[in-house]
């Protein structure tokens, strides 16, 4: 969709892009200054594969400060974005034939990484009525003797759903009965949370000993292009991830690592201000989408996505265009309304589309009004 949107823009068409999951803010000044300083001070050489010792210590401090979790620097591996950290973790855990449970909707990379390891993906569909979150009963029913791993995100991409402490505690009770199951908790949207402090499943019982936390700088610090993610894991997993990464990329950018120390240990004022703006946009787009007849929308508590159920518009037409599913609807909105979105089929939820509100309020208002107009033409 991003590619098609760019092609239409090149033709002079005014496309409102609601497809990209990237903050429309610049990296905070104090972090950029730290990077410039690192260049001037000569931090331009190879670093240890898992990251500078100071970066790993900064992650340890952050996890203690923000999450109340105790890790040693040796349990931290810094990678080239959270996606590489995810890949490292999956590669270190999953063997051919192992089952990996993924609640849906989910971030598309999870299942593809499992497939690269020849693992078996077990999808657990979650409904809009439960805010797209897995229940303990669903989790219990999905676990078999072959289950090796459970992967999820909170806040979630694409739904914006956030698991409460009580909901995570209930899932933890199930995991306690199945000690051979690892957990990957993708917490990259941690700071973009509108309901209170972030909660991690690693806080419960002994789950920290088999939970791999994935996080990074891209979302909370508007540092998508800097490419730094990290994982916090049991020591044997961290050591395996270090070995894997050493044969694929080695360490991530030395300059980014120095900037990361400032980001992770410094004040969070810029992140708080960014989230406050996202909250205003969320309030607008949630209300605007609810006003469109036939559209069903949940009330996301984090990230910067809306994930409405659009099935009321399927099997309808306008002039020579027939919309049979979410894929068709996204193309209809792109070519008729000139609004770029993402089909929910990509996230294993074919009744939905994903809209990103990580863009300006002006563009949001324009995009939603165009959607409302062109959806109203379908009959």
247-276 pLDDT, tens digit each: 999 999 999 999 999 999 999 999 999 999
Backbone region of residue 168 per phi and psi (left: phi > 0; alpha: psi in -120 to 50; beta: other values): alpha
DSSP H or E stretch at residue 103 = strand 99-104
Q: What is the pTM of this model?
A: 0.95
- What is the helix, strand, coil percentage profile of the chain, to 5? 45, 15, 40
CB atoms within 10 A of CB 43: 17
359: its two tokens? 């863009």
* Predicted pLDDT of residue 20: 87
pLDDT digits (tens, 9 = 90+) for 274-327: 999 999 999 999 999 999 999 999 999 999 999 999 999 999 999 999 999 999
Please calculate the CA angle 262-244-56 and round it to the nearest 5 degrees.
20
The burial of 10, by beta-carbon neighbours within 10 Å (0-12 exposed, 13-18 middle, 19 or more buried), is given as exposed
pLDDT at 142 over 90: yes
Q: How far apart are CA 241 and CA 237, in angstroms?
A: 6
Query: Which of 314-323's residues contact partners 24+ apart within 8 Å by CB, and which partners?
Result: 314/351, 316/378, 316/379, 317/378, 317/379, 318/374, 318/377, 318/378, 318/379, 323/378
pLDDT at 330: 97
Residue 231 and residue 85 in contact, taking contact as beta carbons nearer than 8 Å: yes
Q: Which pLDDT does position 78 carry in this prediction?
A: 98
- Residue 5 is predicted with a pLDDT of 87
- Confidence bin at 3 (pLDDT 50/70/90): confident
pLDDT in tens, 350-378: 999 999 999 999 999 999 999 999 999 99
What is the spatial distance between Cα 355 and Cα 234, in angstroms, rounded to a whole number? 36
Comparing C-alpha atoms, which of 196, 183, 219, 178 is closest to residue 303?
219
Angle formed by the axes of helices 254-265 and 29-40, to 10°? 140
Integer angstrom CA distances of residue 216 from 85, 93, 324: 9, 21, 38
**Distance (Å, whole) CA 265 – CA 65:** 9
Locate all alpha helices (DSSP H) within 205-318, ordered by sequence.
235-246, 254-265, 269-290
> Tens of pLDDT along 15-40?
999 998 899 999 999 999 999 999 99
> Which residue ranges form the domains of the chain, and what is each CATH number?
2-21+270-375 (3.90.1150.10), 43-265 (3.40.640.10)
Q: State the chain's mean pLDDT as an integer.
A: 97
CA–CA–CA angle 186, 86, 53 (5° rounding): 95
Which pLDDT score, from 0 to 100, does residue 266 have? 94
**DSSP category for residue 124:** E
159 confidence band (pLDDT: 50, 70, 90): very high
State the Cα–Cα distance between residues 296 and 140, nearest whole angstrom. 29
Average pLDDT over residues 182-210: 97
- What pLDDT, in 10s, does the model give residues 65-86? 999 999 999 999 999 999 999 9
CA distance 231 to 332: 40
Rounded to whole angstroms, the Cα distance separating 297 from 220 reads 25
Q: How far apart are CA 112 and CA 3, in angstroms?
A: 21
Instruction: Give residues with Cβ within 8 angstroms of 18, minimum separation 6.
Output: 339, 340, 341, 355, 356, 357, 359, 363, 364, 367
Q: 183: which strand partners?
A: 150, 211
Report d(CA 4, CA 83) in Å as an integer.
Answer: 24
Return the percentage of the chain with pLDDT > 90, whole number.
97
pLDDT for res 2: 80
Structure tokens at 174: 């199930």
Q: What is the DSSP letter of 203?
A: G
């Amino acid at each position: 969709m991003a590619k098609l949107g760019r092609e239409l823009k090149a033709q002079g068409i005014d496309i409102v892009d609601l497809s990209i999951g990237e903050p429309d803010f610049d990296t905070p000044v104090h972090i950029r200054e730290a990077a410039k300083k690192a260049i001037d001070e000569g931090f331009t050489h190879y670093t240890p594969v898992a990251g500078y010792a100071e970066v790993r210590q900064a992650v340890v401090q952050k996890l203690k400060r923000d999450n109340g979790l105790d890790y040693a620097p040796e349990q931290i591996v810094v990678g080239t974005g959270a996606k590489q950290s995810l890949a490292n973790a999956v590669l270190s855990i999953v063997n051919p034939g192992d089952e990996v449970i993924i609640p849906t909707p989910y971030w598309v990379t999870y299942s593809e990484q499992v497939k690269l390891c020849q693992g078996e993906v077990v999808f657990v569909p979650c409904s809009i009525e439960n805010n797209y979150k897995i229940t303990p009963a669903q989790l219990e029913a999905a676990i078999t003797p072959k289950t090796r791993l459970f992967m999820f995100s909170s806040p979630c991409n694409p739904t914006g759903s956030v698991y409460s402490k009580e909901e995570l505690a209930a899932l933890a009770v199930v995991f306690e009965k199945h000690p051979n199951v690892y957990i990957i908790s993708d917490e990259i949207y941690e700071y973009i949370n509108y309901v209170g402090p972030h909660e991690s499943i690693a806080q419960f019982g002994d789950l920290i000993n088999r939970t791999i936390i994935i996080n990074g700088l891209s979302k909370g610090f508007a540092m998508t292009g800097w490419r730094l993610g990290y994982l916090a894991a049991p020591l044997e997993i961290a050591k395996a991830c270090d070995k894997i990464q050493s044969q694929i990329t080695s360490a991530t950018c030395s300059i980014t690592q120095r900037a990361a120390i400032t980001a992770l240990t410094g004040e969070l004022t810029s992140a708080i201000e960014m989230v406050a703006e996202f909250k205003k946009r969320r309030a607008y787009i949630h209300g605007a989408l609810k006003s469109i007849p036939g559209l069903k929308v949940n009330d996301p508590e984090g990230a910067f996505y809306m994930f409405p159920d659009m099935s009321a518009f399927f099997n309808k037409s306008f002039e020579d265009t027939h919309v049979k599913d979410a894929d068709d609807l996204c193309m209809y909105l792109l070519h008729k309304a000139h609004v770029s979105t993402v089909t929910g089929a990509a996230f294993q939820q074919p009744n939905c589309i994903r809209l990103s509100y990580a863009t300006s309020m002006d563009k949001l208002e324009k995009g939603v009004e165009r959607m409302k107009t062109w959806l109203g033409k379908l009959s």
